[in-house]
Structure 1
Amino acid sequence: MRKIKLILILLICCSLITGCAETKILERISLVTLIGYDNGDEDKVTATTVVRQINPEFESRVETQTETEATSKGTRIKVDMKTAKKLAAGQLRVVLYGEELAKQGIEESIQTLLSNSEISTSVYLAVVRGESKTLIEQNYEGISDIGQHLYNLIDHNIEQQQLISSTLHEIGRDNQSKVRNFALPILKKEGQFIGITGTAFFNKGKMVGELPSSDISYLVLICDSFKSGTLELSLDSESISPTVETKGDTLNLAVDSIKSKSIIKVTDAKKNEFDLNILLKCRLLETSNKIDISDPKVNKTIEKAMNEKIESEISRIIKYTKEIESDIFGFGEEYRSQVRGANLTEEKWMEMYKKMKLNINVDVEIIRNGVYE
């Protein structure tokens, strides 16, 4: 009797839960997979929406709709009026911002996305070189759904740690912080292909600078812990001679990061001084000329030269972010958490960031040579 009562209670609970859920039948809705925003006329916004339509035979068709209105919500209403089925944003994968709009500011758009419970916070955000409308409306060979294609492009590069993650959740979190800024990948149409060409830096929701894709690995080294991915380096022959012979002025290396760790520490709060310690264990995959990495002396020389090279590149990047006033690395967050009574404001921290003294210490260890050793 007791078991029967328990079963009845479970059935009642299940029926109540089912009754609260909104049923969405695929052939009765239009799935939004991608939205691109650009500047419109008279301070309006232009939204280009990629919609996937599914018929009763479960055959899908992708179409694009472009509308201009004062707000992003207004553009959605206009698109809805042109679509025979209700728009559903639950399958939205990527949101793009045209370069001009990104420079004017996307803070309001981010807040609008976050306030929409229908949209997942795992959506990726990115900047487009030029207009997003032009990139979206291009016919690409072999791409049936550009929304899904761009999601896969960004997602797999993040997994390979060749890109800083830019989900709506992460961008919204950083944008809410008073002492941290955010960065987005830059996409560019190159013929029949779409490539990741750099990283856009933001301050107060406005794009204030950018770095090329060749610097992305260094950004990942500072912001995150490497678990995979590759890094290419060009070492000056002077930094490794006479231990290592080179055919030209440089020795080009490709290393595969096995494990890395980035630690930011406030060493002197009064002097606004920080230590950035990066531990990197990697394997040497390729060199521009043959070297005997099994020789301990050669190995140590290469490691020392790599330390100096990475430290120099990171110093250059940090200097640039100070100039454009964009702390995407979290130095302000670390200062606030490590220094009691810091009472940092956005303006106070940015003044401190520009004058911050940073000691960069990189410790590279080549743990094995290639795949088979």
Structure 2
Amino acid sequence: MKTIKFFLIFISVLLLTGCLPSKSVEENAIVQIIGYDAGEEKRIRGTVSIPQYGKSEDKQAASELYLTVDADSTKDVEVEIQKQSSKPISIGKLAVTLYSKELAEQDLGDIVDVLSRDPRLSRNMFLGVVDGSAKDLIESGYTQDETTSKHLQGLIENNTRHNFPSTSLHNFLYAYYAEGMDPFLPLLKKQESFVELSGVAFFKKGLLVAEVPDTKIFTFKMLKENFKRGMQDVPFEGGTIMMDNIGSNVDYSIAGSLDNPKFEIKISMKAEVNEMAGVDRKATPQLAKEMEEKFVEYFNKEADELIQLFKEKKIDPLGLGNFTKTRRGDFDLSKWEENYSDLEVDVNVDVEITEYGIFS
């Protein structure tokens, strides 16, 4: 009897499941990328790209529909876009959200609050700041075999495997709400026929306050996290050495009182030299030793300059305050912020060339 009852319940569940409404890709306007610019009279201009799927296609995007609206808030942008669409708008697949630098310099605080509360959005979504117009960047189109969102998503993902530190909505929100830590985002710039990751944009909570060029991204990632891969060109004797990171590890330690804390950042890196340009010397182990010394000098200097910038702007993208909070029971955020500009931070880089590449 129990077996028959279980069988009947199972069949009922299957039938009810089959009655649930479902809509195909072609029946929805699936927004995978959205960009925000500063509009007139403190309004927000939102631009979306919607893939257009042909009925005979194998669900590969053949074209994109661009819609742009002006609204009073990011939530209103979705409402206004729906008025222009013949299909229901769906943002559950949103993969990339962009903000113009102009808008970020006005503070993204309210926008971030909306992002954190929307359950439809994936925490793995990428955010980025556009040096220029987010609308122009989205509407440019770059390849015929992938959508703009796929192109930009791939651009950011590829760079996080190399020189750029880990980035996502989850990372941004964690740093935004954490004590003793500030967020950062990739800085994107449209060129004539492509988009490049041109640097890093640093925030004081939701306000864009500083940026550094792509030449300093490697050093920032080296200070921020352990990683492999990534390349950096280093000046050497009037020429250039291309260094390939095989693996680097970073370790923070703190000493002293909260009134006068002293940080030490130790970085241990194993590297390969795979190219020399303009260096008129024979490749020898002695030359490799001199290169190691040059790498140490270069990265110590670059790291010191970045940390000085962070202290001048009173931002903490490395999360030194958050690190201190987890290790000091007497941590006081107000006192930390008061003393942050005078914080003593010693960076010690050790580089070992383990794979010579160009050396025989």
Q: Does TM-score exceed 0.5, indicating one fold?
A: yes
Does 2:320 correspond to 1:331?
A: yes
Contact 1:336-1:342 within 8 A present in 2 as well: yes
CA deviation profile, 1:83-139 (whole Å, cap 9, x unmatched): 111111122111010111000111221221232222211111111112211222235
Contact 1:31-1:53 within 8 A present in 2 as well: no
Distance 2:153 2:115 in 1: 17
SS at match of 1:104: coil
Letter in 1 for 2:336: W
Does 2:294 correspond to 1:311?
A: no
Partner of 2:355: 368
Distance 2:117 2:197 in 1: 28
> Superposition pairs for residues 155-304 of structure 1, below 5 Å?
155-159=157-161, 161-235=162-236, 237=237, 250-270=238-258, 271-288=260-277, 289=279, 291=281, 294-295=284-285, 297-304=286-293
Moved more, 358-367 or 139-148: 139-148
Distance 1:12 1:91 in 2: 32
Match of 2:149 among 136, 141, 147: 147
Letter in 2 for 1:263: D
Moved more, 301-310 or 137-146: 137-146
Structure 1 vs Structure 2 CA RMSD: 2.6
Q: In the superposition, relative to structure 1, how do residues 84 and 310 fare at CA in structure 2: closer, same or farther (>3 Å)? A: same
Distance 1:143 1:12 in 2: 43
Moved more, 130-139 or 272-281: 130-139
Contact 2:204-2:315 within 8 A present in 1 as well: yes
Contact 1:29-1:53 within 8 A present in 2 as well: no
Q: In the superposition, relative to structure 1, how do residues 19 and 349 fare at CA in structure 2: closer, same or farther (>3 Å)? A: farther
Does 2:41 correspond to 1:37?
A: no
Letter in 2 for 1:101: L
Distance 1:186 1:139 in 2: 18
SS at match of 2:156: helix
> Displacement of 1:200 after TM fit?
0.7
TM-score by length of 2: 0.90
Distance 2:289 2:210 in 1: 37
Residue-pair matches, total: 355
Distance 1:262 1:21 in 2: 51
Letter in 2 for 1:350: E
Return 5+ residue gaps in structure 1 as ranges: 238-249
Does 2:117 correspond to 1:115?
A: yes
> Displacement of 1:275 after TM fit?
0.3
Q: In the superposition, relative to structure 1, how do residues 308 and 55 fare at CA in structure 2: closer, same or farther (>3 Å)? A: same
Q: In the superposition, relative to structure 1, how do residues 361 and 62 fare at CA in structure 2: closer, same or farther (>3 Å)? A: same
Contact 2:66-2:139 within 8 A present in 1 as well: yes
Distance 1:362 1:37 in 2: 40
Distance 2:8 2:252 in 1: 53
> Displacement of 1:53 after TM fit?
3.2
Distance 1:23 1:142 in 2: 29
> Displacement of 1:54 after TM fit?
3.0
> Displacement of 1:143 after TM fit?
6.5
Partner of 2:345: 358
SS at match of 1:216: helix
SS at match of 2:86: coil
Return 5+ residue gaps in structure 2 as ranges: none
TM-score by length of 1: 0.87
Q: After the TM superposition, which parts of structure 1 deviate over 6 Å for at least 4 consecutive aligned residues?
A: 19-22
Q: In the superposition, relative to structure 1, how do residues 12 and 361 fare at CA in structure 2: closer, same or farther (>3 Å)? A: farther
Partner of 1:70: 72
Does 2:26 correspond to 1:24?
A: no
Letter in 2 for 1:255: M
Q: In the superposition, relative to structure 1, how do residues 14 and 344 fare at CA in structure 2: closer, same or farther (>3 Å)? A: farther
Moved more, 131-140 or 331-340: 131-140
SS at match of 1:201: strand
